[in-house]
Amino acid sequence: MRVSRLLSLTRWAFLCALVLGFPAVVAALTGAGQVYRWNQLEIDGPSARHSHATAYGVQRDVLVLFGGLFGGNSRDSILLGDTWEWNDSEWSLVAETGPSPRMGHAMFYDSRRGAVILFGGNDGAPLNDTWEWDGREWKLLSTFGPGPRSRHAMAYDSDRGVAVVFGGIPREPADTWEWDGNSWKMVDVSGPEGRSRAGMVYDASKKLIVLFGGRLSNGEMLGDTWTWDGSEWIQVASDDLFARSRHSMIYDSASDLIIVHGVSFGGRNEMIEWDGTHWNPIGHSLPRNVMEALLPPRRVYYAMAYIESSGTVLLFGGWDGSTSLSDKWELIIE
């Protein structure tokens, strides 16, 4: 049985509420018809890290985590190459061999082939290898395709059976690539400005890839939103108020909302939701310190994934500006 409880989160929210004259304890955030509750999980699992990747596979009902970096930019930082699985109650170390230890890679679950796919990253140099995890072992699929890169955006279109890659570093390219399960193909199309550290997910109800935010090569953060239908990119929104990079983004199939968590350009640790037309703030009716007390502490380069079987979201790790993190959080959406 999973052990989870609210730790100092609720106590801090309670104190904020008392000081500010807010009624009772605010233990959840509200959005457009949804209630969001974060719980910290007290459970063993992967070591502290950031710049790792996760992907949830519905067929086996497990979340797969690979790699990352322990430490910052110092010489004693350690690249990781371990593979873990989360079965909604516990973490298990399932492999210590496979792709080279790396950071800044991306992963998705290929529902047609029942496997997790990994592309790119950086192991001391940018990479462009493609790997498959079948639940037992890693298999190298390709070393051809998009140019070597890390911190790119990648999402899987389950209706078309293809994955889409956009941008990354170095040089924040504006190229669009698709993986059909066998090979990569560059799509010659204009679209978003080249960027890295963006969020991208597949909206299954609208059958669209949605890309949001990111960072230009000059460091400017972006707040634009684009959709990809397999043939063209369309800009559907732009709001500098929500500009950010290094955030996490998931699609909640139960509520048909896209949810973003992360630090905005203005320094606000927050959540926002996309209803297909607009970004809506979550919990902004609360004072900022109360709202932030109801969220996991601010961080970047973490992983967040939607667990379809339970309808919850799992957040793990990240970098808080000085330390690699190993805390685990569960988001319950009501």
Does some domain include residue 3? no
Q: Let me know if residue 290 belongs to a domain.
A: no
**Does residue 292 fall inside a structural domain?**
no
Helix, strand, coil fractions of the chain, as percent rounded to 5: 5, 50, 45
Strand partners, 279: 274
Alpha-carbon distance 327 to 316, whole Å?
6
Contact call for residues 250 and 313 (beta carbons, < 8 A): yes
8 pLDDT tier (thresholds 50, 70, 90): very low
* pLDDT for the residue numbered 13: 44
Express each pLDDT in 214-258 by its tens digit.
Answer: 999 999 999 999 999 999 999 999 999 899 999 999 999 999 999
* Residue 201 included in any domain: yes
Two tokens, residue 118? 């990994």
Residue 199 lies in a domain: yes
Containing structural domain, residue 221: 46-282+297-307+317-323
Helix (H) or strand (E) holding 215: strand 208-215
Q: Specify the higher pLDDT residue, 129 or 4.
A: 129
Look at residues 82, 44, 42 and name the one whose alpha carbon lies nearest to residue 64. 82
- With CA atoms as reference, report the closest residue to 52 among 81, 89, 88, 75: 81
What CATH number should be reported for the domain holding residue 262? 2.120.10.80
7 falls within a domain:
no
- Distance separating alpha carbons of residues 113 and 115, to the nearest angstrom: 6
In a domain, 207, yes or no: yes
Does 218 map to a domain?
A: yes
Angle at CA 177, nearest 5°, toward 174 and 178? 155
The answer to whether the beta carbons of residues 261 and 304 sit under 8 Å apart is yes
pLDDT at residue 171 is higher than 60 = yes
Domain count, the chain: 1
CA dihedral 287, 239, 165, 74 (to 10 degrees): -50
Residues 300-310 pLDDT 10s = 999 999 999 99
